[in-house]
Amino acid sequence: MSNTAITVRLQQPSARCRSALSRWRLLQRSLTVMVVVLLTGCVSVQTTKPGAIGIDRTQRMSSLVSAEELEKGAVAAYAQVLGQAKKEGALNTDAAMTRRVRAIADRLIPTVVFFRPDARAWDWQVNVINSEQLNAWAMPGGKIAFYSGIINKLQLTDAEIAAIMGHEIAHALREHSRERASGEANKALVIGILGAATGAGRTTQALADLAITTTIGLPNSRLHETESDRIGIELMARAGYDPQAAIRVWQKMAKVTGGKSGPEFMSTHPSNESRIKDLTQYAQIVMPLYQKSKR
């Protein structure tokens, strides 16, 4: 797949031709978007740039919920999760672990510009919840949670934490939550959560419920997982973490869980075996970025 992407880039036309082409493509794209919106209430979007790993899949987003609404919901949902953890005495209880996780985030977050320049200005937040769960997630707009269980049970190194965090950040950059809210399969669920209200009439609580359901409640598709694995491994390499560590995470996960995966990594995730194979291939692709980042 990446080989095809590289070949296409090498065969780009001349600059003058390219600018005419891109004007035509832009016009064509705006016309397509208009027609699609009129007919189905769906738009085709590219949430991210392809990066070195070359993900260029067009996503279909329904007008049921906008990116802004889902981000607003994520802010509220995140505050609720943290509030609950605090009440239970489980929020950032290990100061050294929180410092460590946040330091890794500080190295990773600047690299999002290679996929999504606007995401650099998101209000990124990173917190650690004291829990046995083998879990971590990132809600729309960059609200990250790490569970102490995944760090302790897998005895994660910094690079391995970076691999998991890069994967979760990738879900947020690609707006996989909104894409899931847009899918036919989840339409009834989304309408049920949002009720009949639209636009300004929607309560923050309804949007929070939707953000949490689409980020944590529903299993990710294999496609979303693979995309996040590949984007994640590029983010970590650019941040100066050895991409090989992403492979070790899944080897450790397989050992600890006996093949079954943790909550964010539910049943439709790729099998550990196919995931390790894919990550091995993509670690090679991003290795020069890692080497460059060390210089």
Stretch that binds Zn ion, among 8-16, 111-119, 220-228, 273-281 (CB under 5 A): 220-228
In whole angstroms, the minimum distance from the beta carbon of 4 to Zn ion comes to 25
Q: What is the secondary structure of 90-129 as a DSSP string?
A: -BS-SHHHHHHHHHHHHHHGGGGGGT-GGGGGS--EEEEE
Check if the beta carbon of residue 293 is closer than 8 Å to that of residue 239. Answer: yes
Pick the closer one to Zn ion by CB: 177 or 202: 177
Catalytic residue among 160, 168, 175, 234: 168
In whole angstroms, the minimum distance from the beta carbon of 220 to Zn ion comes to 5
Angle at alpha carbon of residue 80, lines to 257 and 131, rounded to 5°: 25
Of 51, 61, 264, which Cα lies nearest the Cα of 164? 264
Pick the closer one to Zn ion by CB: 209 or 225: 225
Active site residue 88: no
Pick the closer one to Zn ion by CB: 127 or 220: 220
In whole angstroms, the minimum distance from the beta carbon of 63 to Zn ion comes to 26
Q: How far apart are CA 190 and CA 142, in angstroms?
A: 22
In whole angstroms, the minimum distance from the beta carbon of 167 to Zn ion comes to 6
Identify residues 81-140 at the interface with Zn ion (CB under 5 A): none
30 in the Ramachandran plot: left (φ > 0), alpha (ψ -120 to 50) or beta? alpha
Q: Considering CB under 5 A, how many residues would be counted as binding Zn ion?
A: 1
Stretch that binds Zn ion, among 26-34, 128-136, 189-197, 215-223 (CB under 5 A): 215-223
Pick the closer one to Zn ion by CB: 92 or 220: 220
Q: For residue 209, what are the CA distances in angstroms to 27, 187, 195?
A: 37, 15, 12
140 in the Ramachandran plot: left (φ > 0), alpha (ψ -120 to 50) or beta? beta
CB-nearest residue to Zn ion: 220
Pick the closer one to Zn ion by CB: 142 or 202: 142
In whole angstroms, the minimum distance from the beta carbon of 62 to Zn ion comes to 21
Stretch that binds Zn ion, among 112-120, 154-162, 199-207, 216-224 (CB under 5 A): 216-224
Q: How far apart are CA 95 and CA 73, in angstroms?
A: 28
Q: How far apart are CA 256 and CA 276, in angstroms?
A: 16
| Chain positions contacting Zn ion, by CB under 5 A | 220
Return the active site residues: 168
